[in-house]
Amino acid sequence: MPRTNEHHHEKSPTDELKETVSQIGQNVREMSEELGGMAREKYQNVRDQASEFYEQGKEKASEFESHIEDYITEKPIHALLIAAGVGLLVGLMWRRR
């Protein structure tokens, strides 16, 4: 019985190595795409959070300014005396340096 070429379906070590390298390259590309997506998502989350903190800070500063204006309007003499006292303290501390 003549023997057929059984090696016809077997891959050479070079072909196996090429296939392995190709598969590794594909895996690296997929991982790179996933990591890039994760990094973009994380960046957007941090950016959104920073924007939210900025808006909260701006709102608090505006509220504080409004309270100060109300206080000055309601008690102008107290406000003037407080400002003078703070100015005096800052002046004394500055002079000591």
Which tokens is 22 given? 């190709």
Percent of the chain whose predicted confidence (pLDDT) is above 90: 80
pLDDT tops 80 at residue 6: no
Domain spans, the chain: 19-96
3-state secondary structure 23-92: HHHHHHHHHHHHHHHHHHHHHHHHHHHHHHHHHHHHHHHHHHHHHHHHHHHHCHHHHHHHHHHHHHHHHH
Lookup result for tokens 């500055």:
94
Tell me what pLDDT residue 9 has: 66
* pLDDT mean over 12-35: 92
Predicted confidence band at 96 (pLDDT cuts at 50, 70, 90)?
confident
pTM for the predicted model, two decimal places:
0.50
> Distance between alpha carbon 44 and the CA centroid of its chain, in Å?
7
